A and B are shown apart, each in its own frame.
Chain A
Amino acid sequence: EAQVTQNPRYLITVTGKKLTVTCSQNMNHEYMSWYRQDPGLGLRQIYYSMNVEVTDKGDVPEGYKVSRKEKRNFPLILESPSPNQTSLYFCASSRRTERDTQYFGPGTRLTVL
């Protein structure tokens, strides 16, 4: 089954404790992206990657890091999480030639205390 998976689905952590949210897709997609979703603000793009070893900042990259060492994986790293990073996070992927048809993962709900 074609899908985007994220882990963990739910995470409660404390300020300053480094964490990684994993994202994996099995569709051989070149384009991958991370979003955060907050009430009233909609989805905001954090980082995206056009292919392996190619990443770029979205609209809200501060406080986040990403890497793309393999085509299928695109982890999101919060080196020193803060309470304002409490949010619902989505990973998405698509073919580079069909960037509009993004397939989204199920989401990761992160709470930073």
Chain B
Amino acid sequence: EDQVTQSPEALRLQEGESSSLNCSYTVSGLRGLFWYRQDPGKGPEFLFTLYSAGEEKEKERLKATLTKKESFLHITAPKPEDSATYLCAVQALYGQNFVFGPGTRLSVLP
């Protein structure tokens, strides 16, 4: 059974304090790993897709990396507007459905 876990459950950072979020996954052949951002009361917003180990993607202060067992979302010099819940999801190579992790709730304090 495909599974996704995320850690930590919650993270509080000071503005400018860089850190990383972890997404560990078990899947029978990975088609893709996805990162989403979700603000309170809203639907998830797509950030990145990673397809193979060693791949990296960047967007502003965010950088996502992928290994064969986990993915990291690195946040460099975060700002208060980066506060949100970050969701990780996987899709198996021969499946059509998506499996999401429980998310990491990030708070960036000014």
List the interface of chain A (C-beta within 8 A of B).
4, 33, 35, 40-45, 48, 50, 56, 58-59, 90, 92, 99-107
Contact = CB atoms under 8 A, between A and B. Distances in A.
Contacts of B87: 42-43
B25 to A, nearest CB: 12
A110 B91 CA distance: 27
Interface string B72-94: 00000000000000010101000
Secondary structure of the A contact surface, majority rule: strand
Interface in B89-110: 89, 91, 96-103
Contacts of A56: 96-97
Contacts of B34: 100
Contacts of B22: none
B91 to A, nearest CB: 7
Interface residues of B, number: 21
Contacts, number: 54
B54 interface: no
A-B complex: 6 closest residue pairs judged by Cβ atoms: A104-B43, A43-B100, A42-B102, A100-B49, A42-B100, A58-B97
Nearest to B103: A42
Interface centre among A4, A101, A102 (most CB of B within 10 A): A102
